Amino acid sequence: MASFFDLLRDIIHPGYCRRCGGCVAFCQANNYGALETSPEGWPQFRNAERCLECGVCYQICPATGQLTAETRRRVAWSAPIGRVMDSGVFRSTASSAATHPDGKVGLGLIEHLFATDRIDGAVVLPTDHVFNKASQLARTPDQLRALDDKGLTTSQVRAAASSLEVLGSVRKTGLRRVAFMGTPCQVETVRKMEILAVPPAERLYCTIGCFCDGDFLLGPAQQDRLEKLGFFRWNDVRHITLRDHLEFWLAEGKTRDIPMEDLDFMRRYACRLCTDYSAQFADLAVGGTGAPHGWSTVIARTPLGQAILSEARQTALEPFNGTAASQTRHNALYTVCRLAERKQHRALHSSRAAM
């Protein structure tokens, strides 16, 4: 049985680790302290002698290719971007959504799940400061709104490896049904964890995946280059939204766009090999891609996702009904498909270059 020793050899040391956080969060020797996350976000042994060599970490890792066929079967996956049962362009009906770059769709969906008593907890992504995210667990609608005041986001311009650690911590709570919001690679890990029935899979209600073009390294050199590419000063940035480009929202509502192709200098190596843009394994996939400013594209991928979207659009979500609404919905899905294909081509090119 392949274990964390094999994960180190096959995935982590060669640079393929996506830093999803799953191996540490769901390690079967978690209580004995076998694994830990390094200060830089890499999984590592804390005490190798505690490893049970059970193989769970290797099987759930999204970079090993294990359980891929089962994962696809579970969500009735089909090419090129996974199953699409329903889709549209929405924003939250919360009053604060009208002026938000992505329309606070994540907030709307999770508020709806709380309001209809579907969940008693949600792992969400508040932003501390533009690129910085730290996942947190909201146990009540009030806690959710407090996190939203910090800036709840579906814009995956930087993954938070802590998301799965927070989900893993649900085991130690009395929560019964939890919604999980994260990157496509994290959603894939969660699906594999469900297949293996690794706790707290039994407490997971639904997964909301955010469109993702990469996790970016952000140090002083990268900030400096972004400022030059976008003609802005970092201190003026208020929000960042991922569309078919990276959109920087500055003070006084001004925006600056940087094409994603120009960001290879800061995209992490493992993300160049990743093929999932549109959260193919999630119940619901969301993000600003293809939607007009102030709105988000939502794709329902499973019967559960479809039911949630269908109910939420009556209450918590407002559908885009502006001029050419049906054309807007069509364009949104088309843009997601186009960017998903671009990511798949980039991964193919990068893996060939690595051979």
Residues lying near ligand SF4 in the complex (CB under 6 A) are found at 3-4, 7, 11-12, 17-23, 27-29, 34-35, 43, 51-57, 61-63, 159, 183-185, 189, 212, 214-215, 270-271, 274, 276
* Cβ distance to ligand SF4 smaller for residue 35 or 113: 35
| Among the listed residues 93, 283, 274, the one whose alpha carbon sits nearest the alpha carbon of residue 182 | 283
Minimum separation from the CB atom of position 266 to ligand SF4 (A): 12
Smallest gap from Cβ 321 to ligand SF4, in A, equals: 31
In whole angstroms, the minimum distance from the beta carbon of 253 to ligand SF4 comes to 28
Q: How far is the CB of 254 from ligand SF4 (least distance, A)?
A: 28
The distance of closest approach from Cβ of residue 1 to ligand SF4 in the complex, given in angstroms and rounded to an integer, is 8
* Element containing residue 189 per DSSP (H, E): helix 184-195
Residue 11 or 286: the one with the smaller Cβ distance to ligand SF4 is 11
**Distance (Å, rounded) from C-alpha 138 to C-alpha 125?**
10
Closer residue to ligand SF4 (CB): 200 or 316: 200
Q: How far, in Å, are 12, 163, 287, 343 from residue 184 at the CA level?
A: 19, 12, 12, 13
What does residue 259 show for φ and ψ, rounded to 5 degrees? -60, 140
Instruction: Give the three-state DSSP class for 207.
Output: strand
For residue 103, which of 39, 154, 57, 157 has the smallest C-alpha distance? 154
Nearer to ligand SF4, 301 or 313 (CB): 301
**DSSP H or E run through 257:** strand 255-259
C-alpha to C-alpha distance for 22 and 17, rounded to whole angstroms: 11
Residue 81 CB neighbours (<10 A): 23
- Residue corresponding to tokens 């009904």: 321
In the complex, what is the shortest distance from the CB of residue 326 to ligand SF4, in angstroms, rounded to a whole number? 30
CA atoms within 13 A on the CB side of 238: 10
Least separation, in Å, of the C-beta of 261 and ligand SF4? 15
List, as one string, the DSSP characters of 61-82.
-TTS-TTHHHHHHHTT--TTT-
Which lies closer to ligand SF4 via its Cβ, residue 145 or residue 272? 272
Of 56 and 113, which has the nearer Cβ to ligand SF4? 56
Euclidean distance between CA atoms 90 and 203, whole angstroms: 28
Instruction: With CA atoms as reference, report the closest residue to 164 among 20, 313, 66.
Output: 20
Smaller CB separation from ligand SF4, 44 or 255: 44
